[in-house]
Structure 1
Amino acid sequence: MTSQTLPIYQIDAFTDVLFAGNPAAVVPLSDWLPDDVLQKIAMENNLSETAFFVPSAGGDANFHIRWFTPTVEVPLCGHATLASAFVIFNRLGFEGDLIKLQSKSGILTARREGDAIVLNFPKQPIKTDVVSKEVLNALGGAEPIETFGVVSRDTDIVLVYRDASIVRNMRPDMSALAKLADRGVIVTAPGDKTGLDMVSRYFLPALGINEDPVTGYMHCVVGPYWAENLGKADVVGYQASARGGVVVCKIDGDRVHLKGEAFQYLKGEIVVPA
């Protein structure tokens, strides 16, 4: 069997220090590999997401980007996009301060702003929904003040709590949650520290990720929700995972601008079928 060597980066996203935020693998490609090979690379990396991108042949985008968890391809991922933009800006010699990315969620942009990168993502529409008692029990039993679902990913469940301590201290039964939620469960509450408007966490055991450390996509849900409830256009979210991370959100109509920094942890090579 013939093989080829490809570069790979691991980037900590949505953090201003190493060993925090959300680690993502980034694999630049010249041409797409077969989907089953992309999935196997993501499974081998065993991170919440691996991003792959190729140069665009033309049109409105500079690159075409895709994201894979260890088990499935997903239509949108914030931290792996931030990580990819970091690699394109800082390691691949990209000229300019704005990257346009074609994706399953349309055209996304990444803009360099000092040491930070600002992503332009679609706001995720929501709908009122009822959450089963079994899901509440799997999350620890605390009663939320509101529940809803995400329309674009209609198996995502969102629960709003009154107190951030409930979110911070939550210890879900991941085995039970994996059987009860087809995709992800977002929990969120008002911020409990100066400068924080919201505290959130994101559980996805059904997708092989018990808890995502810091999630750009999730802030396209909770960012607009808290902005509307607080009467603000700009909100700051803290994702209270073990690694933790801050995401600055600016709501602009049906778009959400997500601002964060990133650090490179490693650069290496992988060997895959040619």
Structure 2
Amino acid sequence: AAAHVLWEQGLLAPETDACFHTRSGLLRATHNNGMIELDFPATPAQPAPAPPGLLTSLGLNKGDIYRSRFDYLVAVENEPAVRTLQPDFSALGQIEARGIMVTARSDDPAYDFISRFFAPAAGIDEDPVTGSAHCTLAPWWAPRLGKSSMTAYQASRRGGVIKVGLQDDRVRLGGQAVTIFCGELHA
């Protein structure tokens, strides 16, 4: 979003990369034919035991549980299971993790997989489109789908399409950004 504003306001030429110094290191954003592409380190997930209350707080009876450095990943059997989730956010907020992503293979041939991301412990019941979650989803889905370039759909109420690429230990995420409101701060 910050890179989008820099390009949209003419503070940075579209052919110039936007570079941000973050806690994870240098983040580079590029502008490519109306798409913004970001390059992140992958955060793979490993099989893990389900913490008490995880599945029930999501309203699920079953799911395969994985844990990345920051989040839980819950793989479910189909897209409707992802779309119809009605989490108990109070209970979900008690899970010790930055967030919880739920994912399944997409029924829509336009997308490879679908997901939702919840982070009530961080004050965000459901995030509309989550780049950091796709840094875990990319290395999880790539071997299962047999491809390194994928198209994902995050099925929040707002929803969003993410172009996902995995190369070695890096994840490239691409999408479009739109300005939904502008304002001014006065000191």
TM-score (norm. length: structure 1):
0.65
Any idea what SS the aligned residue of 2:139 has?
A: helix
Larger Rg: 1
Distance 2:114 2:184 in 1: 37
1:220 aligned partner? 135
Deviation at 1:166, TM superposition (A): 0.4
Distance 1:92 1:204 in 2: 34
Q: Kindly, what percent of the aligned residue pairs are identical?
A: 36
Deviation at 1:133, TM superposition (A): 4.7
Paired residue type of 2:47: T
1:230 aligned partner? 145
Deviation at 1:231, TM superposition (A): 0.8
Distance 1:188 1:89 in 2: 32
Distance 2:153 2:61 in 1: 20
1:88 aligned partner? 6
How many pairs are equivalent? 186
Instruction: In structure 2, list runs of 5 or more residues that go unmatched.
Output: none
C-alpha distance after superposition, 1:168-206 (max 9, x if no partner): 101011111112344211110111101211110011111
Any idea what SS the aligned residue of 1:266 has?
A: coil
2:27 aligned partner? 108
Instruction: In structure 1, list runs of 5 or more residues that go unmatched.
Output: 1-82
Paired residue type of 1:179: Q
Of residues 78, 100, 107 in structure 2, which corresponds to 1:163?
Answer: 78
The structure that is strand-richer by fraction is 1
C-alpha distance after superposition, 1:22-68 (max 9, x if no partner): xxxxxxxxxxxxxxxxxxxxxxxxxxxxxxxxxxxxxxxxxxxxxxx
Matches within 5 A, 1:1-274: 83-95=1-13, 96-144=15-63, 146-151=64-69, 153=70, 156-272=71-187
**Counterpart contact for 1:223–1:237, Cα < 8 Å:** no
Distance 2:33 2:16 in 1: 10
**Counterpart contact for 2:45–2:73, Cα < 8 Å:** no
